[in-house]
Amino acid sequence: VHRREWENAGRPPIVTLLTDFGSGSGYPAQMKGVLLAAVPSAQIVDLSHEVARFDVLGGALLLEACVPRFPVRAVHCAVVDPEVGTARRPLCVVDGEGRRLVGPDNGLFTPFLREARCWTITTDQVVPPSLSATFHGRDLFAPAVAYLANGGDPERLGPGIADPIRLDWPDAVRRGDIVEGVCLRADTFGNMITSIREDQLAGERMASVLVEDRSAHLVRTFGEGRTGELLAMLGSGGRLELAVREGDAVREHGLRPGMCVRVRLG
Amino acid sequence: VHRREWENAGRPPIVTLLTDFGSGSGYPAQMKGVLLAAVPSAQIVDLSHEVARFDVLGGALLLEACVPRFPVRAVHCAVVDPEVGTARRPLCVVDGEGRRLVGPDNGLFTPFLREARCWTITTDQVVPPSLSATFHGRDLFAPAVAYLANGGDPERLGPGIADPIRLDWPDAVRRGDIVEGVCLRADTFGNMITSIREDQLAGERMASVLVEDRSAHLVRTFGEGRTGELLAMLGSGGRLELAVREGDAVREHGLRPGMCVRVRLG
Amino acid sequence: VHRREWENAGRPPIVTLLTDFGSGSGYPAQMKGVLLAAVPSAQIVDLSHEVARFDVLGGALLLEACVPRFPVRAVHCAVVDPEVGTARRPLCVVDGEGRRLVGPDNGLFTPFLREARCWTITTDQVVPPSLSATFHGRDLFAPAVAYLANGGDPERLGPGIADPIRLDWPDAVRRGDIVEGVCLRADTFGNMITSIREDQLAGERMASVLVEDRSAHLVRTFGEGRTGELLAMLGSGGRLELAVREGDAVREHGLRPGMCVRVRLG
């Protein structure tokens, strides 16, 4: 499936990296050294290396926002991996669109699992004989990504699995004309991303938004808001977001992950 | 004009990015996904994603320091855009040297406007039918940059304009043998960049430098200073800078943007 | 020597950068502009721009961890340079493996000097007639790196030297079955890297590890530790490291550079 979409056809292969290592730590650079040794013309793109340490949900939300912006032939490597060195499985995912993702089996790829096929990575073509206990990003995932970027077959990475770990993904629930969700994560601007996705509004108009007991002003753009006012809008990542015009919604309105968000439709 | 200098002639096209998004936010990565889908072999270079939020002057000074270091055929995308979602115009600038810059029309390109030609970006070749209200960097500017990097004609992006927004650019003034300017912005080392440019000294020797009522020691290099001493020198960006040897001039000498700087020539 | 390993043979040349400039400062970007003008197809990889300001030892340890992960044909440019503008020499190193490194002669390349050949960089092919006093990374080292990446001969950069500066490198000492070293630097996770290298254990089993008077639990992976417990393990960079499972060893155990570390073998 999708094999033709993976062909680089003379274009440089694309590899993306997402980790919680810190861009200045030297660890992403070591992964790039391994990648470039095996895929000399790779276009390597950093999605982020500033995921909060061990924040698997935060990493998953960033993947959800970034991965679909890349051509399907890109290979995505994500490492937020509190359990490195334990028995957690190394994972390769091919999602319903044919996108290939590689990293630990800990829920990081939850947004891509709906119609996915998954494999654990066991082949000694990519797993080194003496695997480091602490840096699978460099010693296991980067070689697996290089194998895929060079046209390797995901089915040869190891046995297929049907039970990849899924995050208890905080989705939205519809009751009548109310869609109820929660605050998930703040972005670097202090905008709060919620669990309510655009497709869950089913094309219906939002009439009002409540965050706990506070009303948010529904706008299409920041520009429609007054300074300091709590705004709600569909953000660029396809989720309902809470924001303040030229301000920091998290700080100015005390928003926290887990707070209840209610949208009335109609 | 300059068309020949824009030819990539077998070399990878160069695209630079400058934003206030934060390199770990995932937003620059989304722009890169769009760019690589349209310009697969692009050399994408981050100028900075750490411009202080909405600091248009800070972004303009960084562009002034960085852009001239790149070949003229590079295309520069800069997004520090507090007014995204309002009526502010999307802008393409071709400066007197033939450099192409794309971003919001809010003064960010002031250092390049002296002999520039400018266009608003309106063509539906790059403006998507449903433009996001909050992320023009990804949905409008990146496609415009890709169009130019692939050899597209700036004149076809939209109507030419004669009145791009200019920052009230804090320039230097000469009175007799005194050149007077102000402190502008600190760099990451705590060096203070001033509004006095090398070309405004007209090749004349500086005799002394005063910052408000404090004297600064004129040196050619840090190495000529004593520890803790306030130094003045022509910096690598072509502007007079205030510095401390192996120290932080801003913190150690209480420098602030807007402080008066006087150079006596002769 | 090694000339054949330097051939790019149709692959894009690789250049790595390590500085203490800050990735958002615009300074690394200016170096990249110079590099891409001279080496249009270069794969430029940031090792780190977040080395603590003027921390030559920290930069050297990062180079030691990162450089060996890249193909030998890569050229490495490192600039942590408190003495820029003084008489310190600009240096090109070719180490025993044939790796090429360029930067200030201040000890930054200590891990690579064992069987190295070294040259000062004086040729006017790369040293500009009016060298900036403050930004040799852009105006001297980047041109030298471009020269090498394009296949230039290190011997033509300038006169060979036999006395490159070496850091008083804090090595480990063996006395009977005790290997004694010190805490060197913390990484971004709060893991403490020590001066004890894997090869100094000579393949022998570690029986116990003391940090000053505290015992550390010897493990092969984080997963074997209990929460909060001080762990010792061979890290991914080939050095003994002190860590805490899903925690910050530096903060939780008050580790500081210079603290004594004793490994009992057997």
pLDDT tens digits for range C161-208: 999 999 987 778 999 999 999 999 888 789 999 999 988 887 888 999
Write out the DSSP string of A81-132.
-TTTTSSPPEEEEE-TT--EEEEESSSTTGGG-TT-EEEE---TTTS-SS--
The token duo for A41 is 């013309």
Which residues are CB-neighbours of C51 under 8 A, at least 6 positions away? Answer: A24, C18, C19, C20, C58, C59, C62, C80
Contact A24 C50 (CB under 8 A): yes
Q: What is the pLDDT of residue A77?
A: 98
- Picking from C23, C70, C221, the nearest residue to A36 by CB comes out as C70
Count of residues making up chain A: 266
Averaged pLDDT score across all residues of chain A: 93
The token duo for B134 is 């909050």
Q: What is the pLDDT of residue C133?
A: 74
B48 neighbors C26 (Cβ within 8 angstroms): yes
- Give percent above pLDDT 70 in chain A: 99
For residues A153-163, give the mean pLDDT. Answer: 97
Checking if the pLDDT of C248 tops 70, the result is yes
Residues from B in contact with C at Cβ < 8 Å: 11-12, 14, 16, 23, 43, 45-51, 62, 65-66, 69-71, 74, 187-189, 220-224, 233, 235-236, 246
Contact A29 C49 (CB under 8 A): no
Checking if the pLDDT of A128 tops 60, the result is yes
Q: What is the pLDDT of residue C110?
A: 95
In chain B, what residues touch A19 (CB-CB under 8 Å)?
none
pLDDT bracket for residue A18 (50, 70, 90) = very high
To the nearest whole Å, the CA of C185 is away from the closest chain B CA by 21
For residues B219-223, give the mean pLDDT. Answer: 79
The SS3 assignment for B166 reads: coil
pLDDT bracket for residue B2 (50, 70, 90) = low
* Mutation site, B18, B43, B239, interface C, largest C CB count within 10 A: B43
Q: What is the pLDDT of residue B133?
A: 75
Q: What is the pLDDT of residue A53?
A: 86
CA angle C91, C96, C97 (to 5 degrees): 105
pLDDT bracket for residue A246 (50, 70, 90) = confident
Query: What is the Cα Rg of chain C in Å?
Result: 20
pLDDT bracket for residue C2 (50, 70, 90) = low
In chain A, what residues touch B22 (CB-CB under 8 Å)?
50, 188
- Calculate the alpha carbon distances from C38 to B11, B155, B237, C64, C147 in Å: 11, 30, 20, 27, 8
B74 neighbors B149 (Cβ within 8 angstroms): no
Tell me the C-alpha distance between A225 and A231, whole Å. Answer: 7
Tell me the C-alpha distance between C41 and C142, whole Å. Answer: 15
The token duo for B256 is 């602030």
Q: What is the pLDDT of residue A133?
A: 74
Q: In terms of C-beta density within 10 A (0-12 exposed, 13-18 middle, 19 or more buried), how is residue B195 classed? A: buried
DSSP state of C141: I
Residues from A in contact with C at Cβ < 8 Å: 21-27, 29-30, 32-34, 36-37, 40-42, 44, 53-54, 82-86, 132-135, 138-139
Checking if the pLDDT of B210 tops 80, the result is yes
Which residues are CB-neighbours of C37 under 8 A, at least 6 positions away? Answer: B69, B70, B71
For residues B18-28, give the mean pLDDT. Answer: 95
Give tens-digit pLDDT for C214-234: 999 998 877 788 889 999 998
Contact A48 B24 (CB under 8 A): yes
Tell me the C-alpha distance between B50 and B21, whole Å. Answer: 7
B73 neighbors C36 (Cβ within 8 angstroms): no
Which residues are CB-neighbours of A248 under 8 A, at least 6 positions away? Answer: A189, A190
User: Measured over all CA atoms, what is the biggest interatomic distance in chain C, rounded to whole angstroms?
Assistant: 60
Q: What is the pLDDT of residue B100?
A: 98
Tell me the C-alpha distance between C54 and C57, whole Å. Answer: 9
In chain B, what residues touch A57 (CB-CB under 8 Å)?
none
For residues B213-218, give the mean pLDDT. Answer: 94
Number of Cβ within 10 Å of residue C55's Cβ equals 15
- C-alpha closest to that of C43 among A202, A65, A258, A12: A12
In chain C, what residues touch B66 (CB-CB under 8 Å)?
26, 29-30, 33
- Calculate the alpha carbon distances from C169 to B142, C83, C84 in Å: 47, 19, 22
Checking if the pLDDT of C73 tops 80, the result is yes
Tell me the C-alpha distance between A108 and B58, whole Å. Answer: 36
Alpha-carbon dihedral B249, C47, B22, A148, rounded to 10 degrees: 180
Spacing of C-alpha C110 from chain mean position: 8
In chain B, what residues touch C36 (CB-CB under 8 Å)?
14, 43, 45, 70-71, 74
DSSP state of A67: G
In chain C, what residues touch B65 (CB-CB under 8 Å)?
26, 30
To the nearest whole Å, the CA of C120 is away from the closest chain A CA by 27
Checking if the pLDDT of A247 tops 90, the result is no
pLDDT bracket for residue C82 (50, 70, 90) = confident
Return the percent helix, strand and coil in chain B, to nearest 5: 25, 30, 50
Count of residues making up chain C: 266
- Give percent above pLDDT 90 in chain C: 77
pLDDT bracket for residue A86 (50, 70, 90) = confident
Q: What is the pLDDT of residue B82?
A: 87
Helices H, strands E: what count in chain C? 5, 15
Give tens-digit pLDDT for C90-132: 999 999 999 999 999 999 999 999 999 999 999 999 998 878 7
Q: What is the pLDDT of residue A73?
A: 97
- Rounded to 5 degrees, φ, ψ at B219 are -135, 165
- Picking from A23, A27, A134, the nearest residue to C221 by CB comes out as A134
What's the predicted TM-score (pTM) here? Answer: 0.94
